Structure 1
Amino acid sequence: MSSLPVHRYRRGSNDKKFTSDTFGNDFELFDPWTDNNLSTPTSFRWINQPKRKKEHEDKIAPALLSPTYGEKFRVKLDISCFDPETIKTTIEGRLLIIEAKKKHHHSNSENTKEQKIYDLPETVYEHADADHLVSYVTPNNLLIVDIPLCNREHEQRYLQSSSKASHSHHLLPYGQYRDQSFNYHHFHTSAFAPKVVDGGEHKRKLQMSLPMKNYRPEHIKVSVKNNDLIVQGEHISKDNQYLEKTYFYRSVILPPGTQTDHLQSHLTQDGHLQIEVPFIEYIPKN
């Protein structure tokens, strides 16, 4: 069993500017759908901006429904040698295609266009919302591509749970009084499989679990951003030209009463990420 550190970040409601460590190393905690209203540095460049919800629009990215699924696939690529203004990112079938022209210091040299193609994993392309792909270049010359994923199993569990809202005995462990502004059904049916258990000494705690058997402990990062729990698994590959990093993200908003400062995580021998955190029942204000 391997204990994993928990990285924490809090941003005040009036904090509208980036700082050097606002979203961790290489923007790993930046969510383009929820953080894109912040004042970005001039060296930050959008390639594919998030699509905004339009009136009468039927198809909206799950990530824009704040929240529905909380899953995405991310690709990182060092583009220091390329002209950011020439970058294009698209998805065709199961392929993620990145095109860009190399920089040349001689004015009479013609820029050479190069293409990088990723064969997306089956678990990604089958659930990818390709119409709402987002990509951008960070101040340290990293191209980041975020692909929102539709978790249909979670959607089905959520719809079943919501349809039985009047008989939701499974939500009773969260307390007799529950914060009406929080979606307990969404949390309870999430991929984190949460449950409220006895924490001893008349206290309670939340237990959550995610399968992570394809990741080594050093390639798993657990973060808390305000009240969002974010888990990312990293794959790194190298060749003669590129250092490539791909990530699988899962996130969920924790319910009111979760004591995030005391959240702990560890990876079991059978490859499950176990997360525990003290939980206090919500008490409405008089």
Structure 2
Amino acid sequence: MSLFPINRTFRRFNDPFDNFFGHNLDLFDPFYDFDRFPSLAMPSSFRWINEPRRHQSLLNTPSVPISLAPAQSEKFRVQLNVAGFNPETIQTRVDGRKLIVQAKQEDRNGDDYNVREIRKSYDLPQHADINNVASFVTPNNMLVVEVPVRNPEVEQRMLQSRTLSDTNNHQLAQFGQFRDPLFDYGGFGASAFSPKIVATGNGQKQLQMSLPMRDYRPEQIKVSVKDNDLVVQGEHNYKDNNRSEKSYFYKSVSLPPGTQIDQLQSHLTQDGELQVEAPFYEPTQQSLQQHRQQIEVNRQ
């Protein structure tokens, strides 16, 4: 059994460079973070290559309310060091089932010139949304490309669960008498993490989740908490003297009110199952009110 440390990060807006474009870059979500938290200021050297369609539409229609929907739960991401290339020369596109990254930099000084060119291709996972690609260059010269990935099986389970949750009070009873109307309990119960709440004795409860990670070695797995979102990443890294790049596929899920996130633990079993556990306290009316107030503070 392999134990995993939990990387914890929270949205703070006093220093966006450090929180989103520094060591926590892999937790930045270009499809949602700017839209859900419009007060976040982008560094002046942040450059979009392919701007998310949802981000563009909300910028053009400021009257549209900011959604509290959770971030895309599954996506494929590439991070590539592009130091020395002008962002305007970088192209990211999808050709069939491959993600293509190209850049060309030509420097001239009289009759002398120097040309540098890079081309990378990455196999996209099944059900990747090839019509919705986001890419950008950070202030520290890191190209990030994200492609959302649909999971038809999970989507079907979520649809069925939401239908059941409207009529089956027993399914919701495990979360306690008081439940947050803004949280999607049906979708959470049907997520790929197969969550459940179990009694541990003495009136205590525990949230338990599991995720198959058989295709990844322990050193390639990273477990993080971003505010109330649990993020699990399977990473593949490459680095040499000139270039560094990272590609990974990750899943995330928003944790329900009452989850004691600061006590969350995870480990990998011998058969390749990632198991995540945390104490769960049934919310009260007062705790739910405080939770909603904190959401409003984050949106301001």
TM category, shorter:
0.7 to 0.9
Residues 220 and 281 (structure 1), Cα distance of their counterparts in 2 relative to 1, 3 Å cut: same
The structure where helix makes up a greater share of residues is 2
- The answer (yes or no) to whether the contact 2:232–2:250 under 8 Å persists in 1 is yes
Gaps of 5+ in 2: 59-66, 290-300
Amino acid in the other structure paired with 2:78:
V
- The answer (yes or no) to whether the contact 1:199–1:278 under 8 Å persists in 2 is no
| Partner SS, residue 33 of structure 1 | coil
1:30 aligns with 2:12: no
Amino acid in the other structure paired with 2:123:
D
Q: Spell out structure 1 runs of 4+ moving beyond 6 A.
A: none
Residues 34 and 68 (structure 1), Cα distance of their counterparts in 2 relative to 1, 3 Å cut: closer
TM-score with structure 1 length normalisation?
Answer: 0.86
Amino acid in the other structure paired with 1:174:
F
| Partner SS, residue 231 of structure 2 | strand
Among the aligned pairs, what percent are the same residue? 51
1:186 aligns with 2:184: no
Residues 23 and 171 (structure 1), Cα distance of their counterparts in 2 relative to 1, 3 Å cut: farther
1:230 aligns with 2:231: yes
Gaps of 5+ in 1: 56-63
From 123, 138, 144, give the equivalent of 1:119: 123
How many residue pairs are counted as aligned between the two chains?
272
**Aligned mates of 2:110, 2:188 — CA distance in 1:** 56
Residues 68 and 241 (structure 1), Cα distance of their counterparts in 2 relative to 1, 3 Å cut: closer
**Aligned mates of 1:21, 1:105 — CA distance in 2:** 37
Q: For residue 149 of structure 2, what is the aligned residue in structure 1?
A: 149
Q: For residue 162 of structure 1, what is the aligned residue in structure 2?
A: 162
**Aligned mates of 1:258, 1:23 — CA distance in 2:** 28
Alpha-carbon distance, 1:238 to partner: 5.4
Alpha-carbon distance, 1:43 to partner: 2.3
Q: For residue 253 of structure 2, what is the aligned residue in structure 1?
A: 252
**Aligned mates of 1:17, 1:134 — CA distance in 2:** 23
Residues 87 and 214 (structure 1), Cα distance of their counterparts in 2 relative to 1, 3 Å cut: same
Q: For residue 47 of structure 2, what is the aligned residue in structure 1?
A: 45
Q: For residue 60 of structure 1, what is the aligned residue in structure 2?
A: none
- The answer (yes or no) to whether the contact 2:108–2:114 under 8 Å persists in 1 is no
Amino acid in the other structure paired with 1:41:
P
Amino acid in the other structure paired with 1:49:
E
- The answer (yes or no) to whether the contact 1:235–1:247 under 8 Å persists in 2 is yes
Q: For residue 262 of structure 1, what is the aligned residue in structure 2?
A: 263
Matching of residues 1-286 of structure 1 within 5 Å: 1-12=1-12, 15=13, 17-22=15-20, 25=23, 27-36=25-34, 37=38, 38-52=40-54, 54=57, 66-67=69-70, 69-102=72-105, 104=107, 106=109, 108=111, 109=113, 111-120=115-124, 124=125, 126-164=126-164, 165-237=166-238, 242-285=243-286
TM-score with structure 2 length normalisation?
Answer: 0.82
Amino acid in the other structure paired with 1:179:
D
